């Protein structure tokens, strides 16, 4: 505590001087207080600086062949770029010249400093690091470890996104194992620790862990809602030089402000549970004269099979609508409502919510209405909604609100469908697919959900939840509750932004769910500045730092998709394959076209391999080729191009052998269906040759399930062959339309499934 008090005093002094950034000398003081190495230095105030005397003093008191002369200024944080750093030889005249140049260039600076030069090689990878920390509303304080030095930004920009820097929330660092896992994911630390071929260890892991723990300790204390009156916004040492086996700070920046008392009041677990499994539903905004949005919702709930005696409408002056009893006010309802669907004009929302809260009979609201905070000029309306929610919670702690701007919730088990999409516009979203894992789909965007369900007809989630603006219940709240359900194996998540501390909550939930063997597929919007603006316009949520969010959620155990197509394909693999235990990345690739075989071969790398060593398997496959007179044109290999002459029987036999062989963890089977040798179109008459019932697919689907191995089936053709794809899907075989893409996406899923 004594050290923290000393750091607080440094910040207090700077604050009294109306500064929001510390001087480098003050940063060094904090490092020394934290037990971290800082260079030996001497400070010379600008007001009394004598260049000749200062140079003589520095040369006589410092050691080494060089001296580092720096400007000390609260207005110049990036000293190297502005010419505020000189490294002359340790001779009086050279140092004096540096002092004079600095004095002329920075007359308004607080002073100059002379530091010892830490011997190292700044151009060797791993000898200059950047250690930083910054405040983040979504995840709490974040630690970063990356490439340091003057070329840090250029080198980092040239790397694949996510490689550097390594990022971790302070709150997820609990023990030595957590730090070690963090270091193992740090690209630059591999060079410092000698884990890259041709490199040698420059520093021990314990050295960097001391730094990380010290930064974490400081950031935990100086944060919003913490014990101090100050919050550190940014704390960075760049570079940290590796000199003689130790890490030494060569520059430091610390920005701070007064701390704020931020928090997010978590919604009632009972209220959230009611929204996910409602026994009583009521709808507000239904017109008795026309099919408006609320009436479409009412009819969708009725068609879903929900009990009419547990379904109500809030409507004054009407006895019933569509066979559903109406009540003038929620206080008149005969029982407590778990799901209160509000679809009224935005101007009426505050009053509707106030009445719902005052009734004490509403636990969960699904707010369909939008235009309250996400649109410029609607901020007052949004604030009114927030006040109404708070007042409702005072009367009923179990009051929760999902939305606004929500498209609704679909719950097949509860027989609830509150989407306001008419039945003729999309296939009815209820039902089950016994071929896929028990799945939940949680999305801030309702349009993303219905678009995905429309494109992926096989996807029948047990829960489809559109969250909208997260004005109370958030994506993280829903995922937390759903992850507790043992039968649920896959959670699909679309995110646009986080509320305060929600990113950290979601990371913890994902980590726990992943430990239970669940698959979590995430798409995080807002990758660019333009994307973040689009997100803000849609959800009125903080977009946050995309790279930090993606890195942290992946480290917690999510599989993050880079685009919508990847999300759809990864969702298919998770839903169809999560019940299979994938033991190896070695995969058998089979096609009837040379270009596809070549494309699949080009995709083989990393954990995805295409080895074929089993002599007995090779012999058995060779016998099949001979039996079907294909041995004269093709040899057994992996990938195997079985040619367009191969029949369903030949393809099925080869696939059977690959599925049964322990050498392979999966089979990627890609067929160009235009060949006359295969049955790839529905039967259309006695003189029509094709019949899907005679294809190899039915037997292969059964064999796939028996062996418990993923089978990826690609159909490289146009819409004429959509029935072929639907036939395979009905049998439980996931469909892809490009062999090389399927291989690439499977490689990503494979790395996730194997925990690499």
From residue 21, give the alpha-carbon distance in Å to each of 49, 129, 250: 23, 22, 17
Instruction: For residue range 735-749, list pLDDT tens digits in order.
Output: 999 999 999 999 999
- Tokens 């079907």 locate to 628
Instruction: For residue range 686-715, list pLDDT tens digits in order.
Output: 778 999 999 999 999 999 999 999 999 999
Contact 257, 234 (CB under 8 A): no
Which residues does residue 246 pair with via DSSP β-bridges, in sequence order?
A: 243
Q: Is the pLDDT of residue 541 over 50?
A: no
**Phi/psi at 440 (5° precision):** -120, 145
Between 7 and 199, residue with greater pLDDT: 7
Under DSSP, is residue 95 helix (H, G, I), strand (E, B) or coil? helix
Contact 586, 611 (CB under 8 A): yes
Q: CB neighbours of 548 closer than 8 A, spacing ≥ 6?
A: 136, 139, 142, 167
Topology of the domain comprising 40-116: Dna Ligase; domain 1 (3.30.1490)
Under DSSP, is residue 130 helix (H, G, I), strand (E, B) or coil? strand
Topology of the domain comprising 128-258: D-amino Acid Aminotransferase; Chain A, domain 1 (3.30.470)
* From 132-136, 388-392, 525-529, the region with the lowest mean pLDDT: 525-529
In 22-174, alpha helices (H): 24-33, 51-61, 92-105, 152-158
- pLDDT given for residue 155 in this prediction: 74
Contacts 24+ apart (CB under 8 A), 382-385: 382/471, 382/540, 384/349, 384/350, 385/349, 385/350, 385/353, 385/471
Topology of the domain comprising 264-403: Rossmann fold (3.40.50)
- pLDDT given for residue 374 in this prediction: 56
In CATH, the number for domain 587-753 is: 3.40.50.261
The closest alpha carbon to 300, from 349, 343, 271, belongs to: 343
Under DSSP, is residue 411 helix (H, G, I), strand (E, B) or coil? strand
In 34-85, alpha helices (H): 51-61
- pLDDT given for residue 531 in this prediction: 46
Under DSSP, is residue 191 helix (H, G, I), strand (E, B) or coil? helix
Q: State the pLDDT confidence band at 121, using cuts at 50, 70 and 90.
A: confident
DSSP state of 265: P
Between 160 and 533, residue with greater pLDDT: 160
- Six-digit token string for 495: 């995110």
432-578, superfamily in CATH?
Succinyl-CoA synthetase domains (3.40.50.261)
Region 673-679: what's the mean pLDDT? 95
- Six-digit token string for 88: 């002359």
Equal fold, 264-403 vs 587-753: yes
Instruction: For residue range 377-427, list pLDDT tens digits in order.
Output: 556 777 888 899 999 999 999 999 999 999 999 999 999 999 999 888 888
- pLDDT given for residue 532 in this prediction: 46
Contacts 24+ apart (CB under 8 A), 149-154: 149/122, 149/238, 149/239, 150/80, 150/81, 150/122, 152/128, 152/238, 152/239
Percent of the chain with pLDDT over 70: 96
Contact 664, 658 (CB under 8 A): yes
Instruction: For residue range 415-471, list pLDDT tens digits in order.
Output: 999 999 988 888 888 999 999 999 999 999 999 999 999 999 999 999 999 999 999
The closest alpha carbon to 357, from 271, 277, 455, 451, belongs to: 271
Ordered by start, the domain boundaries in the chain are 40-116, 128-258, 264-403, 432-578, 587-753
Rounded-to-integer distance, Cα 181 and Cα 395, Å: 46
Rounded-to-integer distance, Cα 709 and Cα 476, Å: 32
Mean confidence (pLDDT) of the chain = 92
- pLDDT given for residue 534 in this prediction: 45
Q: Is the pLDDT of residue 215 over 90?
A: yes
- Six-digit token string for 63: 């050691």
From residue 268, give the alpha-carbon distance in Å to each of 182, 386, 396, 451, 478: 34, 16, 10, 30, 11
- pLDDT given for residue 367 in this prediction: 97
Q: State the pLDDT confidence band at 10, using cuts at 50, 70 and 90.
A: very high
- For CA atoms 102, 106, 107, 112, the dihedral sign is negative
Percent of the chain with pLDDT over 90: 82
Q: CB neighbours of 153 closer than 8 A, spacing ≥ 6?
A: none
Ordered strands of the 320-321 beta sheet:
320-321, 324-327, 311-314, 281-284, 339-342, 364-367, 400-403
* From 241-255, 317-331, 479-493, the region with the lowest mean pLDDT: 241-255
Contact 73, 45 (CB under 8 A): no
- Six-digit token string for 651: 């393809």
- Six-digit token string for 397: 């702690």
Contact 140, 223 (CB under 8 A): yes
Region 349-365: what's the mean pLDDT? 96
Rounded-to-integer distance, Cα 395 and Cα 642, Å: 71
- Predicted TM-score (pTM) of the model is 0.91
- pLDDT given for residue 77 in this prediction: 64
């Amino acid at each position: 505590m004594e050290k923290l008090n000393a750091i607080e005093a440094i910040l207090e002094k700077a604050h009294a001087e109306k500064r929001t950034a510390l001087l480098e000398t003050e940063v060094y003081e904090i490092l020394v207080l934290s037990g971290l190495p800082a260079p030996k230095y001497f400070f010379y105030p600008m007001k009394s600086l004598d260049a000749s005397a200062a140079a003589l003093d520095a040369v006589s008191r410092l050691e080494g062949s060089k001296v580092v002369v720096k400007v000390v200024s609260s207005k110049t944080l990036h000293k190297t770029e502005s010419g505020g750093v000189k490294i002359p030889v340790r001779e009086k005249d050279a140092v004096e010249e540096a002092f004079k140049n600095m004095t002329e260039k920075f007359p308004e600076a607080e002073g100059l400093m002379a530091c010892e030069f830490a011997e190292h090689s700044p151009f060797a990878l791993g000898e200059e690091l950047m250690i930083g920390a910054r405040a983040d509303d979504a995840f709490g304080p974040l630690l970063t470890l990356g490439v340091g030095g003057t070329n840090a930004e250029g080198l980092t920009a040239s790397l694949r996104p996510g490689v550097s820097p390594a990022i971790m929330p302070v709150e997820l660092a609990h023990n030595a194992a957590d730090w070690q896992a963090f270091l193992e994911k740090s690209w630059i630390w591999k060079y410092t620790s000698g884990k890259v071929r041709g490199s040698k260890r420059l520093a021990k892991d314990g050295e960097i862990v001391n730094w990380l723990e010290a930064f974490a300790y400081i950031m935990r204390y100086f944060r919003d809602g913490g014990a101090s009156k100050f919050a550190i916004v940014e704390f960075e040492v760049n570079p940290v030089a590796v000199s003689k086996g130790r890490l030494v700070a060569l520059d430091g920046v610390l920005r701070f402000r007064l701390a704020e008392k931020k928090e997010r009041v978590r919604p009632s677990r009972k209220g959230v549970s009611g929204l996910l499994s409602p026994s009583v539903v009521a709808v507000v905004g239904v017109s008795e004269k026309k099919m408006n949005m609320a009436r479409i919702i009412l009819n969708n709930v009725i068609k879903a099979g929900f009990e009419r005696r547990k379904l109500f409408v809030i409507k004054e002056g009407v006895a019933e609508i569509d066979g559903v009893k109406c009540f003038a006010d929620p206080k008149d309802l005969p029982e407590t409502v778990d799901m209160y669907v509000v679809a009224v004009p935005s101007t009426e929302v505050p009053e509707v919510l106030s009445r719902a809260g005052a009734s004490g009979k509403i636990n969960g609201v699904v707010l369909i209405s939008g235009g309250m905070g996400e649109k410029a000029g609607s901020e007052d309306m949004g604030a009114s909604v927030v006040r109404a929610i708070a007042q409702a919670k005072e009367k009923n702690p179990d009051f929760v609100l999902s939305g606004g701007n929500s498209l609704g919730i679909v719950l097949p088990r509860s027989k609830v469908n509150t989407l306001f999409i008419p039945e003729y516009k999309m296939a009815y979203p209820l039902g089950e697919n016994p071929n896929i894992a028990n799945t939940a789909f949680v999305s801030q965007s309702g349009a993303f959900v219905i678009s995905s369900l429309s494109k992926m007809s096989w996807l029948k989630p047990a829960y489809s939840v559109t969250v909208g603006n997260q004005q109370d219940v958030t994506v993280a709240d829903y995922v937390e509750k759903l992850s507790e359900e043992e039968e649920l194996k896959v959670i699909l998540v679309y995110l646009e932004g986080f509320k305060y501390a929600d990113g950290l909550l979601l990371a913890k939930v994902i980590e726990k769910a992943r430990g239970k063997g669940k698959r979590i597929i995430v798409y995080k919007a807002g990758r660019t500045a333009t994307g973040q603006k689009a997100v803000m316009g849609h959800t009125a949520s903080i977009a946050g730092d995309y790279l930090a969010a993606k890195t942290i959620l992946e480290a917690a155990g999510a599989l993050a998709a880079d685009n919508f197509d990847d999300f759809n394909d990864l969702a298919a693999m998770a839903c169809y394959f999560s019940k299979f235990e994938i033991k190896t990345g070695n995969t058998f690739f089979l096609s009837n076209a040379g270009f596809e075989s070549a494309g699949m071969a080009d995709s083989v790398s990393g954990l995805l391999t295409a080895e074929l060593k089993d002599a007995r398997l090779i012999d058995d496959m060779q016998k099949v080729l001979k039996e079907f007179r294909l041995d004269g044109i093709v040899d057994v290999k992996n990938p195997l191009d079985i040619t367009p002459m191969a029949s369903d029987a030949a393809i099925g036999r080869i696939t059977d052998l690959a599925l049964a062989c322990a050498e392979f963890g999966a089979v990627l089977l890609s067929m160009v269906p235009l060949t006359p040798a295969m049955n790839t179109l529905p039967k259309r008459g006695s003189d029509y040759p094709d019949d899907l019932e005679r294809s190899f697919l039915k037997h292969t689907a059964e064999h796939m399930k028996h062996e418990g191995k993923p089978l990826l089936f690609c159909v490289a053709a146009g819409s004429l062959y959509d029935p072929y794809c639907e036939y395979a899907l009905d049998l439980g075989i996931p469909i892809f339309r490009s062999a090389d893409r399927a291989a690439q996406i499977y490689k990503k899923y494979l790395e996730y499934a194997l925990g690499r």
